[in-house]
Structure 1
Amino acid sequence: MGRKRVIHYGWIVMAMGLLTTIGAHGFGRMAYTLILPPMKDGLQFTYTQLGLLATGNFIGYLSLAIIGGFLASKFGTRIVIALALALMGITMILTGLAQSLGFAFVMRLLTGFGNGAAYVPAMALGSAWFAAKRRGFATGIVSGGIGAGTLLAGLIVPSILTAYGPAGWRFSWYYLGGTVLVISLITYTFIRSRPEERGLSPIGHEEETLPKPQTGGEKAKSLQWGLIYRVKGMWYLGFVYFMYGFSYIIYMTFFAAYLIKEMGLSQAQAGGLWALVGGLSVFCGVIWGGISDLLGRKYGSALAYLTLAVAYTVFALIKSPSGFYLSAVIFGLTAWSIPTIMAAAAGDYVGARLAPAGLGFITLFFGIGQALGPYVGGKLADITQSFMVPFLLASGVSLLGTVTSLYLKKPK
Structure 2
Amino acid sequence: NEKSFRHLIKFIKDLRLWMLGISYMFVGFYIMVPFTFLTTYAYQEILLPYNIAAALISVIAIGAIPGKLILASFSEGAGRFKAMILSGIMSIMGFTGIIIAGVFPSLEFIAIIFSTIIYGIGYGSVWPLYMAYASDIFSEETVGAALGLLTVFLGIGCMVSPPVAGWMADLTRTFKISFLFAVITSLLSMLFLILTRTKRKLS
Match of 1:385 among 170, 173, 188: 173
2:157 maps to 1:338: no
Deviations 1:272-311 (A, max 9, x none): 3222221221242232222223222322222211221111
Distance in structure 2 (CA, Å) of the matches to 1:273 and 1:291: 27
Q: Distance in 2 between matches of 1:328 and 1:267?
A: 16
Structure 2 residue 39 is matched with structure 1 residue 256: yes
Which structure has the larger Rg? 1
1:395 aligned to 2:183?
yes
Following the alignment from structure 1 to structure 2, what is the Cα–Cα distance between the partners of residues 238 and 398? 14
Gaps of 5+ in 1: 1-220
Letter in 2 for 1:249: M
1:90-101 equivalent positions in 2, closer than 5 A: none
The TM-score with structure 2 as length reference comes to 0.81
Work out the CA distance in 2 between the residues paired with 1:265 and 1:225: 53
Count the aligned residue pairs: 192
Partner in structure 2 of residue 79 of structure 1: none
Indicate conservation of the 8 Å contact 1:309/1:398, yes or no.
Answer: yes
1:370 aligns with 2:153: no
User: How many angstroms does 1:250 deviate by?
Assistant: 1.3
Please say if residues 284 and 334 of structure 1, whose CA atoms lie closer than 8 Å, have aligned partners that are also in contact: yes
Q: In the TM superposition, what is the alpha-carbon distance from 1:330 to its structure 2 partner?
A: 0.2
Match of 2:75 among 288, 292, 295: 292
Question: Which residue does the alignment assign to 2:99?
Answer: 316
User: Contact 2:61–2:124 at 8 Å: present in 1 too?
Assistant: no
What secondary structure does 2:174 align onto?
A: coil
The one-letter code of the counterpart of 1:388 is K
**Cα shift readout 1:343-373 (whole Å, capped 9, x = no counterpart):** 0111123345653431111222222222221
Distance verdict in 2 for CA 1:402–1:231, change over 3 Å = closer
Q: Which residue of 1 aligns with 2:57?
A: 274
User: Does 1:358 find its partner at 2:146?
Assistant: yes
Q: Give me the whole-angstrom Cα distance separating, in 2, the residues matched to 1:334 and 1:354.
A: 28
Map 1:2-401 → 2, pairs under 5 A: 228-319=11-102, 320-352=108-140, 354-401=142-189
Structure whose residues are more often helix by fraction: 2
Structure 1 pair 293/230, CA: closer, same or farther in 2 (3 Å)?
Answer: farther
RMSD: 2.6
Q: Deviations over 1:198-245 (max 9, x none)?
A: xxxxxxxxxxxxxxxxxxxxxxx8996665424332111112212211
Counterpart Cα distance in 1 of 2:99 and 2:133: 31
CA distance in 2, matches of 1:285, 1:224: 33
Deviations 1:17-43 (A, max 9, x none): xxxxxxxxxxxxxxxxxxxxxxxxxxx
Q: Secondary structure at the match of 2:196?
A: coil
Which one-letter code corresponds to 2:124 in the other structure? W
Work out whether residues 64 and 125 of structure 2, in 8 Å CA contact, stay in contact via their aligned partners in 1.
Answer: no
Q: Is the 8 A contact 2:95 2:180 kept in 1?
A: yes
Instruction: Find the aligned partners of 2:39 and 2:141 in 1 and give their Cα distance.
Output: 40
